[in-house]
A and B are shown apart, each in its own frame.
Chain A
Amino acid sequence: MDVGRRPGARERRDGTTNGGIGTMPLDANGAFLSFRNVKKSYDQKTLVVKDFNLDVQKGEFITLLGPSGSGKSTVLMMLAGFEGVTSGDIVIAGQSVTRTAPYRRNIGMVFQNYALFPHMTIAENLAYPLRVRKMNKAAVKDRVNEYLRLIEMGSFGGRYPGQLSGGQRQRVALARALIFEPSLILMDEPLGALDKKLREQMQYEITRLHEQLGFTVIYVTHDQTEALTMSSRIAVFNDGVVQQCAAPAQLYERPSNAFVADFIGENNFIPGKVDRIEGGKARVTVAGGGTITADAAEGLKAGADCVLSIRPEKLFIKPTSHAYDNELVAEHVTHHYVGDFIRFYFRVAEGTEITIKVLNDLAAPDLKAGDKASLVWLAKDCIAFPA
């Protein structure tokens, strides 16, 4: 693969793409794409998307993540123009697009079921957006070959979509969305139909093309791992509202509310009561009687109920060489052998169980059901959210 050539990163070729959106000046705040107070209702009664706000920089890989029915596809459909916006505005490169016809938006789209034209060969599928743009035949041919090489399917141009495997079809669908060099690519669960192995391969492929060509992506997925590994930022969606939009590491380490803490990855929740807050740290009394120090989340008040969240891999069982600020005695319930780690279950108080992931090494403790153990962790790994 010739990595030195970067079709999208070099200057846009004259006349071959409609420069419209791509060459416009950026927004005042520097955002390439902005959703401003976007609301959507299908039945004029309930809002499916409630006040959606998001600023996307050029070249970012943004993932919309959220439970089923939270309105992710609806946001993509509004951006692509297949659904109207009930109120609010979508701005691309400083221009509102809510009144632009979908076929004039110059946005590439990858569909979950590939949506390749079954009556056209792979080369014809790739050539279609170029033919629509009245590019001359020789240039079309060159560009199609270039993109066939890019997705490493150089010899497949003459085949029909029906003759390809799922992963190959998805690669063609991706190339077809990229080939007319749109500045924005939308993908709605593009890998949902693939098996795990192929999915990982395609994730790598998409990331590679994104880095190589530098387009902006809005990506929808159900798969957290996929979101965490691929995105520059993830917008966690619930109930039509963005709960938090942040880089993967921040989202995982510093969730801004209990929904995000619970939705992203695994988490333990321990109910408690806030004694006092000072310097961003909260002192919390938990059900079992212990006192814990934790980072105070926004909106936490002294004297109110709260929940503490700690990731299973941030907890340790005494004796340990890890530093710690908090200690809690709990009763061992059971443990599951997973392979590279062991998953321990403890009961802190009635109704509150916590999970700990322990590396399967020589230091792994040998506990029996009913044994008491001291669990320890750092204050900075623990966040107190308002209950």
Chain B
Amino acid sequence: MKHLPAYFTFWHILGHYSLKWTAYLVLAFLMLPIVIIVPLSFNAEPYFTFTDGMLALDPAAYSTRWYQAIFSDANWLLSIKNSFLIGALAATLSTVLGTIAAVGLSSPVMPFKRLITALLLSPMIVPLIIIAAGMFFFYTRFNLVGSYAGLVIAHAALGVPFVIITVTATLSGFDRSLYNAGISMGASPVKVFWDVVIPLIRPGVISGGLFAFVTSFDEVVLVLFLAGPEQRTIPRQMFSGLREQINPTILAVATLLILISIALLVTLEILRRRSERMRGTEF
């Protein structure tokens, strides 16, 4: 209690500790369902509960059989391949489009800035199910339903707002006189863009791209509407797995996904620090 101010009354102290413990409880409530998955995915038995052996920490009660199951099941392998393929293509597409949009929107001479920004960001706000339904009817006309191209475009549309937001944020710290300096030295606007603007906003571009990738990676509503059996992704496969073959394979996949998310988060954090350092050196 020595760190509490001396003037604290009983009620202050009570408030302090209840706030502290409520915060811990909320954190546990959020984290437990995720954390519990990890040990369960090593269950030797096909159950979703801890067996007596697991609780006794008996090595025989643990196994990696569900991980092996993932990699020997053609459906899972296809969905993993699809998730990465669609995620990567959609992220690339939204990174390119989103960066261009952000650069255009940051120009002082751009008309209707607010309106266009609102339109481009709308996929983040409009309920997914409405987007999915709309896309379904629209894509049918172009034979895009049940095709890779359809899913990539749909997911790219969902990813663009993230790229716009992150790139706009880095651009707001971009000193326009750097651009003018490049021009005054004889470089064309396109050359200055590649040599000066892109390297300086790169952290924002990459983190936007990662957000776009994650968005595609765990998206299931659009996939349910637009994907055929050939385009099943990991979330789609988990969704059907939950209903058809109840066994801890899903938990093993979930554990792998958690690992991937952590890796992405770490990457984002490293990028953020890097961009801060870059800005620190600007003046």
A and B, one complex?
Answer: yes
Q: A: which residues have CB within 8 A of B?
A: 18, 80-82, 102-104, 106-109, 111, 113-119, 128-129, 132-133, 160-163, 176-177, 180
Q: How far is the CB of A182 from chain B (nearest CB, A)?
A: 9
Q: Which residue of A lies closest to B195 (CB)?
A: A128
Task: Tell me if B186 and A180 are in contact (CB < 8 A).
Answer: yes
A18 to B187, CA, bound (A): 13
Contact of B177 among A18, A104, A113 (CB under 8 A): A113
Which among B18-26, B256-264, B275-283 touches the partner chain?
Answer: B275-283
Q: B: which residues have CB within 8 A of A?
A: 175, 177-178, 180-189, 191, 195-196, 199-200, 278, 280-283
Task: Tell me if B199 and A132 are in contact (CB < 8 A).
Answer: no
A161 to B283, CA, bound (A): 8
Task: Tell me if B281 and A160 are in contact (CB < 8 A).
Answer: yes
- Point out the residues of chain B lying under 8 angstroms from A102, CB to CB: 180, 183-184
- Point out the residues of chain B lying under 8 angstroms from A80, CB to CB: 180, 184
Contact of A119 among B177, B186, B200 (CB under 8 A): B200
- Point out the residues of chain A lying under 8 angstroms from B199, CB to CB: 119
Q: How far is the CB of B172 from chain A (nearest CB, A)?
A: 16
Task: Tell me if B187 and A128 are in contact (CB < 8 A).
Answer: yes
Q: How far is the CB of B283 from chain A (nearest CB, A)?
A: 7
- Point out the residues of chain B lying under 8 angstroms from A116, CB to CB: 181
A18 to B181, CA, bound (A): 18
Task: Tell me if A118 and B177 are in contact (CB < 8 A).
Answer: no
- Point out the residues of chain B lying under 8 angstroms from A128, CB to CB: 182, 185, 187, 195
* Apart from A103-B184, A113-B283, A119-B278: 13 A-B pairs, beta carbons within 8 A: A80-B184, A102-B180, A102-B183, A103-B185, A103-B187, A106-B186, A108-B185, A115-B180, A118-B282, A128-B185, A129-B187, A132-B186, A162-B282
- Point out the residues of chain A lying under 8 angstroms from B278, CB to CB: 118-119
A45 to B63, CA, bound (A): 79
Task: Tell me if B178 and A115 are in contact (CB < 8 A).
Answer: yes
- Point out the residues of chain B lying under 8 angstroms from A162, CB to CB: 280-282
- Point out the residues of chain B lying under 8 angstroms from A118, CB to CB: 200, 278, 281-282
Q: How far is the CB of B199 from chain A (nearest CB, A)?
A: 5
- Point out the residues of chain B lying under 8 angstroms from A177, CB to CB: 184-185
Q: Secondary structure of the B side of the interface?
A: helix
A162 to B280, CA, bound (A): 8
A102 to B191, CA, bound (A): 14
* A161 and B181 in contact, given A104-B186, A119-B200, A180-B186 (Cβ under 8 angstroms): no
A374 to B189, CA, bound (A): 67
Q: Which residue of A lies closest to B192 (CB)?
A: A103
Q: Which residue of B lies closest to A82 (CB)?
A: B180
- Point out the residues of chain A lying under 8 angstroms from B185, CB to CB: 103, 108, 128-129, 132, 176-177, 180
A177 to B186, CA, bound (A): 11
Task: Tell me if A115 and B186 are in contact (CB < 8 A).
Answer: no
- Point out the residues of chain B lying under 8 angstroms from A108, CB to CB: 184-185
Q: How far is the CB of A162 from chain B (nearest CB, A)?
A: 3
What are the 10 tightest A-B residue pairs by CB atom distance, in nearest-first order?
Answer: A162-B281, A129-B185, A115-B181, A109-B184, A115-B177, A132-B187, A103-B183, A118-B281, A118-B282, A111-B177
A29 to B278, CA, bound (A): 49
A109 to B182, CA, bound (A): 10
* Cross-chain pairs A/B with CB under 8 angstroms, 7 sampled: A102-B183, A109-B184, A128-B182, A129-B185, A161-B281, A162-B281, A162-B282
A114 to B182, CA, bound (A): 12
Task: Tell me if B175 and A115 are in contact (CB < 8 A).
Answer: yes
- Point out the residues of chain B lying under 8 angstroms from A160, CB to CB: 281
A106 to B188, CA, bound (A): 12
- Point out the residues of chain A lying under 8 angstroms from B283, CB to CB: 113-114
Task: Tell me if A109 and B180 are in contact (CB < 8 A).
Answer: yes
- Point out the residues of chain A lying under 8 angstroms from B181, CB to CB: 109, 111, 115-117, 176
Task: Tell me if A117 and B184 are in contact (CB < 8 A).
Answer: no
- Point out the residues of chain B lying under 8 angstroms from A129, CB to CB: 185-187
- Point out the residues of chain A lying under 8 angstroms from B178, CB to CB: 115, 117
Q: Which residue of B lies closest to A173 (CB)?
A: B181
- Point out the residues of chain B lying under 8 angstroms from A163, CB to CB: 281
Most B CB contacts (10 A, CB to CB) among A18, A106, A111, A176 go to A111
Most A CB contacts (10 A, CB to CB) among B184, B278, B281 go to B184
* A103 and B195 in contact, given A113-B177, A119-B278, A162-B281 (Cβ under 8 angstroms): no
Q: Which residue of A lies closest to B279 (CB)?
A: A118
Task: Tell me if A117 and B196 are in contact (CB < 8 A).
Answer: yes
Q: Which residue of B lies closest to A128 (CB)?
A: B185
Task: Tell me if A133 and B186 are in contact (CB < 8 A).
Answer: yes
Q: How far is the CB of B262 from chain A (nearest CB, A)?
A: 29
A218 to B196, CA, bound (A): 26
A300 to B186, CA, bound (A): 50
Most A CB contacts (10 A, CB to CB) among B177, B181, B182, B281 go to B181
Q: Which residue of A lies closest to B277 (CB)?
A: A162
Q: How far is the CB of A152 from chain B (nearest CB, A)?
A: 22
A160 to B186, CA, bound (A): 22
Q: How far is the CB of A179 from chain B (nearest CB, A)?
A: 9
- Point out the residues of chain A lying under 8 angstroms from B186, CB to CB: 18, 103-104, 106, 129, 132-133, 180
Q: How far is the CB of A332 from chain B (nearest CB, A)?
A: 50
A118 to B277, CA, bound (A): 10
A128 to B180, CA, bound (A): 14
A118 to B200, CA, bound (A): 8
A321 to B283, CA, bound (A): 55
A119 to B283, CA, bound (A): 12
A133 to B188, CA, bound (A): 11
Q: How far is the CB of A160 from chain B (nearest CB, A)?
A: 6
A176 to B186, CA, bound (A): 12
- Point out the residues of chain B lying under 8 angstroms from A81, CB to CB: 183
